[in-house]
């Protein structure tokens, strides 16, 4: 639990995380109704919650079976706290097993959209039609419900698609109300939050900004903060928040590593230094990064070289601010959830990430992370509350290593300039789409292969450019964007005709998984 946040919250919903890919959606759906929710470890006990009692508790879904050795469990005392509890999917099975019901392996696995029949008497289904389509994702199922529980819903293969005990205010759903595939799913969650838990709409981002600025002033006092400004949404919103709180005692450092989008360094300097009046140091270190990348073609080697040099350059500049006690960072809530998840076991490193962690011992900063309780869409909303420009807030995510991981093979200044020009054309065309803001990311990739082409009567032998565009909610999964053919045609024509050095354009139609969003 975020102890800095919860005391200021009159009401909140605790979500115990059992590993479902949809857990973040539960929190988002509740916050969309202006009620604060927080995802916490599934091994949190009733005693832990007693320090900041929630208005309700949700047990999320998860990939485990309750029969597995070492499967995550729940503190039985949570069901005796006197606050409403909602179990979803694995959470329902866990609730049933803990309270004396019977869970069995399902004869048929239910996965996808399923019609369910809703029974009367359950406040979660107030105002919901008697038959709805719900999203199922389970193998095990509840065969017998605990004493004093009632059947809440049924499907063709699941005798207990929901169960409830109104006296103890315990509720459970075998389906996922948080996903868009479940009809009236957000209404079901709203019924739990408002009708069962008695919450009111108290999670207002306008109030959050005021409270956060006051909290930052209290935390920082008369000290100073150094912030690594990337020009992305998160670090930019942090910069404006800190500027509101401490003004010129905030020192921003922007490192131009030569791997940025076209004219990005100039745009950042104009926006933050000239327009917003921030104390901004722009470090032009392009050649240093190109030298470090010389001869490297393996993705992890490139990422580590970029990350190390970024830290070195940042540290050199940060030493100039001898009175800085704090380091500002744009950590957001999905980063926090991912880093503290108790279900994470040994796993392969897909790709390394870099920020300003791992600084030298002589730079002992305390962290300031004002966005650590917010999702990305909430960060953008905070920026709008503070009057930041849509042009900045609607920027798509950009990788820390920049174009270094969008150029496959060795990175050179010439290749960077080639990719920058191709990407400019991609960005200009994609922004013309009416639904541009719904697309998570669109960008160009320079491939390390050349092919024969014909331009006029001349033979060419030039590079291939790939276009990548995906739709996503949180970047954990993603599907490729169905860009209209005429838009793809314009992108291809402009790149081939206007960017000398590229004579072939391809479109990436891979989803994540199995592919990643970035190519490296």
Catalytic residues: 89, 176, 178
Q: Quick one: tokens of 514?
A: 């199995």
Give, in order, the Cα–Cα distances in Å from 129 to each of 73, 115, 118, 132, 323. 33, 12, 8, 7, 63
CA distance 48 to 257: 45
Place of tokens 């759906």: 29
DSSP string covering 242-280: HHHHHGGGEEEEEEE-S-SSTTHHHHHIIIIIIIS--EE
Are 224 and 325 a contacting pair, CB within 8 Å? yes
Query: What is the DSSP annotation of 58-107?
Result: EE---S--TTSTT-----GGGGGSSS-EEEETHHHHHHHHHTT-EEEEEE
Number of other CB atoms surrounding residue 70 within 10 Å: 6
185 sits in which H/E element: helix 185-190
Q: Give how far Cα 370 sits from Cα of 88, 295, 447, Å.
A: 31, 39, 39
∠ CA 32-188-181, rounded to 5°: 80
- Among residues 124, 58, 128, the alpha carbon closest in space to that of 90 is found at 58
DSSP-assigned letter for residue 146: P
What helix, strand, coil percent values describe the chain, rounded to 5?
35, 25, 40
**Based on the number of CB atoms within 10 Å of its own CB, is 56 exposed (0-12), middle (13-18) or buried (19 or more)?**
buried
Residues 6 or more apart whose CB falls under 8 angstroms from that of 468 comprise: 441, 442, 443, 444, 445, 480, 508, 517, 518, 519
The tokens of 299 are what?
């993705």
What is the spatial distance between Cα 226 and Cα 325, in angstroms, rounded to a whole number?
8
Q: Are strands 458-471 and 441-455 parallel, antiparallel or unpaired?
A: antiparallel
């Amino acid at each position: 639990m975020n102890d800095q946040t919860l005391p200021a919250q009159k009401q909140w919903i605790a979500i115990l995380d059992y590993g479902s890919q949809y857990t973040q959606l539960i929190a988002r759906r509740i916050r969309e109704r202006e009620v604060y929710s927080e995802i916490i470890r599934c091994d949190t006990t009733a005693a832990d919650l007693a320090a900041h009692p929630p208005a309700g508790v949700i047990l999320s879904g998860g990939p485990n079976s309750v029969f597995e050795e070492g499967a995550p469990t729940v503190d039985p005392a949570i069901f005796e706290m006197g606050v409403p509890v909602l179990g979803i999917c694995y959470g329902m099975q866990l609730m049933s097993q803990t309270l004396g019901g019977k869970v069995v392996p399902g004869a048929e696995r239910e996965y996808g959209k399923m019609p369910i029949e809703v029974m009367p008497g359950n406040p979660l289904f107030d105002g919901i039609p008697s038959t709805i389509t719900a999203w199922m994702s389970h193998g095990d199922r509840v065969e017998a419900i605990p004493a004093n529980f009632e059947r809440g819903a049924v499907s063709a293969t699941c005798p207990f698609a929901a169960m409830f005990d109104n006296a103890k205010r315990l509720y459970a759903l075998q389906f996922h109300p948080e996903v868009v595939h479940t009809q009236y799913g957000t209404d079901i969650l709203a019924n739990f939050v408002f009708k069962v838990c008695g919450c009111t709409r108290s999670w207002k981002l306008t109030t959050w900004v005021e409270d956060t600025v006051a909290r930052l002033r209290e935390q920082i006092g008369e000290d100073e903060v150094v912030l690594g400004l990337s020009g992305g949404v998160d670090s930019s919103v942090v910069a404006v928040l800190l500027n509101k709180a401490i003004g010129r005692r905030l020192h921003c450092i922007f490192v131009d590593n030569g791997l940025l989008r076209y004219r990005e360094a100039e745009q950042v300097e104009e926006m933050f230094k000239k327009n917003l009046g921030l104390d901004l140091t722009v470090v032009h270190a392009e050649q240093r990064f190109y030298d470090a990348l010389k001869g490297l073609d393996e993705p992890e080697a490139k990422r580590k070289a970029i990350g190390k040099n970024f830290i070195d350059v940042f540290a050199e500049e940060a030493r100039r601010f001898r009175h800085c006690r704090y380091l500002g960072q744009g950590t957001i809530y999905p980063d926090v959830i991912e880093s503290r998840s108790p279900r994470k076991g040994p796993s392969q490193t897909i790709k390394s990430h870099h920020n300003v962690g791992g600084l030298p011992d002589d730079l002992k900063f305390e962290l300031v992370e004002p966005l650590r309780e917010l999702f990305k869409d909430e960060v953008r909303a905070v920026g709008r509350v503070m009057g930041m420009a849509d042009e900045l807030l609607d920027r798509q995510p950009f990788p820390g290593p920049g174009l270094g991981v969008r150029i496959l093979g060795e990175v050179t200044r010439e290749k960077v300039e080639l990719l920058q020009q191709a990407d400019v054309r991609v960005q200009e065309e994609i922004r013309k789409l009416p639904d541009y803001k719904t697309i998570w990311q669109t960008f160009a990739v320079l491939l390390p292969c050349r092919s024969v082409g014909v331009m006029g009567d001349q033979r060419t032998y030039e590079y291939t450019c790939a276009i990548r565009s995906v739709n996503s909610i949180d970047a954990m999964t993603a599907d490729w964007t169905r860009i209209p053919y005429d838009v793809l045609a314009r992108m291809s024509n402009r790149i081939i005709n206007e960017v000398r050095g590229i004579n072939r354009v391809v479109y990436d139609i891979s989803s994540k998984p199995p592919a990643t969003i970035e190519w490296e």
